[in-house]
Every structure is written in structure tokens, then in C-alpha cells.
């Protein structure tokens, strides 16, 4: 149906966007990518097309490209939960935590209800070990403790390290009992 619409209206960016989504969900990754590129040729500021092209690149193992498309989607729409959460997954894989934190800081400040991105933040922080005190991270960790129905264990180590650096606690080793 949408193939036909794209043939009849070949410059309809939304038709190509819908077709890219359908192709992606059916597992036709290359076709989804081609459709996203068509959308962006007609409408370069289409945030969802950038995010979808990021998904395509992620599935193809082109993680740096995926991250670039997610960043572009966030540049266009700073409140895109999908783009931010997808960037998180990519940055965890690449171990580029600072890149994710920078995007997260900008996005969470613009969101009326950041709960949807804070839950993903918890999965990122579980894989991150701070090596110095960061007041922003300290504040964000406190906010996470106010979330309901979460497992606090994933953020325990990052929280402990944050407190250690904040209060300049030295390693004292283990004492025998």
C-alpha cells in the first residue's frame, strides 16, 4: 500500500518515513535505510528519519554512524526519548559514556517528565565508573533514588564512587576481624 503511495507521490517524505518504519519492523534493514535516505533528501530536518537511520546503522554494526544519526535527531528534537535512549544503547556498546551524558544533560533539562529517559540512564550508569567527582552526576543520582519501582543495585557502585570522590575518602583497605 505504502509502496504504491511512494510511487504515486515520490516526493512525499511522510510516505517514505512510514515505509521505512514498516521495512524496519519486517527486518528489511537495507530497504528501511534507503527509505530514510529518501526522507532526508526531501526533508533534512526530519528527526525520526535520522533516528531510524541510526537504528539501521546500529543493526548493521556501524555504531559510530548510528551515534551520529541519533545526535542529529536530538539536535533537531532535543526531547526525542527514542533518539536519546538509542544513543544510550550505542554509547554503552562503544563505551562512550561522556558522549551520552552530554546528550542526556541537554535532553533531560528540556523534558517535562524525564522518567522515561531516567530509567535508561540507570542502565548506562550501571556500566560506568566515575573517576572523579561530578556535581551534575551527584544530583542526577539523587533524582534517581526518588524513582519508584526501580532496582537501586545498578547505581550503587556509581553512587558509592561519587560519594568517595565528593568527600575525598581514601582507600583504607580491608581489615581482618
Domain co-membership, 49 together with 116: yes
Tens-digit pLDDT string for the chain (177 aa): 456 556 767 778 998 999 999 999 999 999 999 999 999 999 999 999 999 999 999 999 999 999 999 999 999 999 899 999 999 999 999 999 999 999 999 888 878 888 888 888 988 999 899 999 999 999 999 988 888 788 888 899 999 999 999 999 987 665 555
Domain co-membership, 1 together with 77: no
- Identify whether 8 is part of a domain: yes
Contacts of 18 (CB under 8 A, 6+ apart): 2
| pTM, entire model | 0.84
Domain co-membership, 134 together with 90: yes
Query: In whole angstroms, what is the distance from residue 89 CA to residue 124 CA?
Result: 8
Quick one: pLDDT at residue 173? 65
Query: In whole angstroms, what is the distance from residue 84 CA to residue 66 CA?
Result: 12
- Identify whether 7 is part of a domain: yes
Q: Which three cell numbers stand for residue 141?
A: 543520582
Torsion angle of C-alpha atoms 41, 45, 47, 50, degrees rounded to 10: 40
- Identify whether 171 is part of a domain: no
Closest by CA position to 122, among listed 158, 86, 160 = 158
Domain co-membership, 136 together with 56: yes
- What CATH number did the domain enclosing 81 receive? 1.25.40.10
A 10 A CB-CB count for 129 gives 9
Q: Which three cell numbers stand for residue 122?
A: 540507570
- Identify whether 96 is part of a domain: yes
Domain co-membership, 56 together with 18: no
Quick one: pLDDT at residue 115? 82
Quick one: pLDDT at residue 1? 46
Question: Which domain does 59 fall in, by range?
Answer: 45-166
Place of cell 551515534: 67
Domain co-membership, 15 together with 52: no
Domain co-membership, 105 together with 66: yes
The SS3 of residue 58 is: helix
- Identify whether 141 is part of a domain: yes
- Identify whether 177 is part of a domain: no
Quick one: pLDDT at residue 20? 93
Q: Specify the number of domains making up the chain.
A: 2
Burial class (CB in 10 A: 0-12, 13-18, 19+), 108: middle
Domain co-membership, 64 together with 34: no
Amino acid at each position: 500500500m505504502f509502496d504504491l503511495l511512494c510511487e504515486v507521490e515520490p516526493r512525499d517524505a511522510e510516505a517514505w518515513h512510514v515505509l521505512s518504519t514498516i521495512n524496519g519492523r519486517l527486518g528489511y534493514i537495507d530497504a528501511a535505510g534507503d527509505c530514510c535516505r529518501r526522507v532526508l533528501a526531501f526533508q533534512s530536518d526530519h528527526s525520526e528519519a535520522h533516528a531510524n537511520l541510526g537504528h539501521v546503522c546500529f543493526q548493521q554494526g556501524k555504531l559510530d554512524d548510528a551515534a551520529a544519526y541519533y545526535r542529529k535527531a536530538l539536535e533537531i528534537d532535543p526531547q526525542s526519548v527514542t533518539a536519546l535512549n538509542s544513543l544510550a544503547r550505542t554509547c554503552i556498546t562503544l563505551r562512550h559514556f561522556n558522549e551520552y551524558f552530554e546528550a542526556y544533560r541537554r535532553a533531560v533539562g528540556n523534558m517535562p517528565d524525564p522518567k522515561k529517559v531516567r530509567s535508561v540512564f540507570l542502565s548506562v550508569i550501571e556500566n560506568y565508573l566515575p573517576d572523579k567527582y561530578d556535581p551534575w552526576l551527584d544530583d542526577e543520582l539523587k533524582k534517581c533514588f526518588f524513582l519508584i519501582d526501580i532496582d537501586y543495585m545498578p547505581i550503587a557502585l556509581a553512587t558509592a564512587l561519587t560519594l568517595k570522590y565528593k568527600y575525598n575518602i581514601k582507600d583504607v583497605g580491608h581489615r581482618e576481624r
